[in-house]
Amino acid sequence: MQNTANVSDLRVRIQDVLDRIERACARSGRSARDVSLIAVTKTVPTAAISAALAAGVRHIGENRVQEARDKFPALDAPYVGHLIGRLQTNKVRYVPHLFEWVHSVDRIPLAEALGRRFEAESRTVNCLLQVNVTGEESKQGVALAELRSLAEAVGRVQGIRVKGLMTMAAYGASESELRRTFASLRAAARSLSAEGLPNVDMEHLSMGMSGDFEIAVEEGATMVRVGSAIFGPRF
Ligand SMILES: *Cc1c(COP(=O)(O)O)cnc(C)c1O
């Protein structure tokens, strides 16, 4: 657990990340307004999350539902919650009270369960389809070859809006491998978008973490998920 609850320290680190996003945008002819910073708060105590919110963060990401249940109710400022990790169907019932975005939709039954929950509350959830671009076996996400049929099926689920794609690059990948991964996700979004599937919008690409978010921005990320560069290393 970190104890970086100091608002001014956090402000400096957050500003540094925002500056680096802005420079990556400038290098690639993009507007920094088109990139959202999601502060990843896994293992970060509530006090530090509140400090980040006080320092101007609006989007927070957790990879476990239980951890969000433990921490989010104590937050004292408005935030937009993003679920970025594996979601088990039996945890779906907690999602509507915690998250507006789910980045990890990779199978139809999960999408159906989410849609039912949000529909029951007359709401919709913004979903990203998680893609396993690199094909590593240990990794969640739909294979590129199955993405189109997943998108088509999830697009039909009530209570869900498909807003784009998410991926995680391979751990320890070289810069050229990272670029290839991110560019593949972008190309997949472009070709899906051209299909014009109902309720499948390819507005967002969630890609890039502390070690590679500048490359991801150069390759088209609209959401970067940054933890340790803001809150310090996780132990
Ligand atoms: C932990 C995590 C991140 C952030 O990782 P950092 O390297 O600390 O920035 C991003 N995305 C997912 C899915 C994560 O689980």
Q: Distance from the CA of 47 to the center of ligand 1, in angstroms?
A: 19
| pLDDT at 195 > cutoff 50 | yes
> Pick from 76, 140, 141, 72: which is nearest to 100 by CA?
72
Does ligand 1 lie within 6 Å of residue 84's CB atom?
Answer: yes
Q: Distance from the CA of 225 to the center of ligand 1, in angstroms?
A: 6
Kindly report the pTM of this predicted structure.
0.96
CA distances for 84 relative to 60, 101, 128, 207, angstroms = 10, 8, 9, 11
Does ligand 1 lie within 6 Å of residue 225's CB atom?
Answer: yes
The predicted pLDDT at position 5 comes to 59
What is the DSSP code (8-state) at residue 72?
G
Counting beta carbons within 10 angstroms of the beta carbon of residue 145, is it exposed (0 to 12), middle (13 to 18) or buried (19 or more)? exposed
Report the distance separating Cα 148 and Cα 91, nearest Å: 26
> Pick from 179, 159, 169, 119: which is nearest to 139 by CA?
169
Q: What is the pLDDT of residues 141-166, one digit of tens each?
A: 999 999 999 999 999 999 999 999 99
| pLDDT at 106 > cutoff 90 | yes
Q: Distance from the CA of 41 to the center of ligand 1, in angstroms?
A: 9
Per-residue tokens: 193: 């978008």
Index of the ligand 1 atom closest to the CA of residue 104: 13
Q: Distance from the CA of 147 to the center of ligand 1, in angstroms?
A: 23
Index of the ligand 1 atom closest to the CA of residue 229: 9
| pLDDT at 1 > cutoff 50 | no
Does ligand 1 lie within 6 Å of residue 210's CB atom?
Answer: yes
Does ligand 1 lie within 6 Å of residue 228's CB atom?
Answer: yes
Phi-psi region of 181 (alpha: psi -120 to 50; beta: other; left: phi over 0): alpha
The predicted pLDDT at position 144 comes to 97
Report the distance separating Cα 144 and Cα 141, nearest Å: 9
Cβ atoms of 7 and 14 within 8 Å: the answer is no
What is the DSSP code (8-state) at residue 102?
E
Ligand 1 pocket, mutate which of 225, 228, 230, 231 (most atoms under 8 A from CB): 225
Q: What is the pLDDT of residues 4-55, one digit of tens each?
A: 457 888 999 999 999 999 999 999 999 999 999 999 999 999 999 999 999 9
Report the DSSP beta bridge partners of residue 112.
none
**Largest pairwise CA distance in the chain:** 48
pLDDT tier for residue 114 given thresholds of 50, 70 and 90: very high
Average pLDDT over residues 110-124: 97
Mean pLDDT of the chain: 95
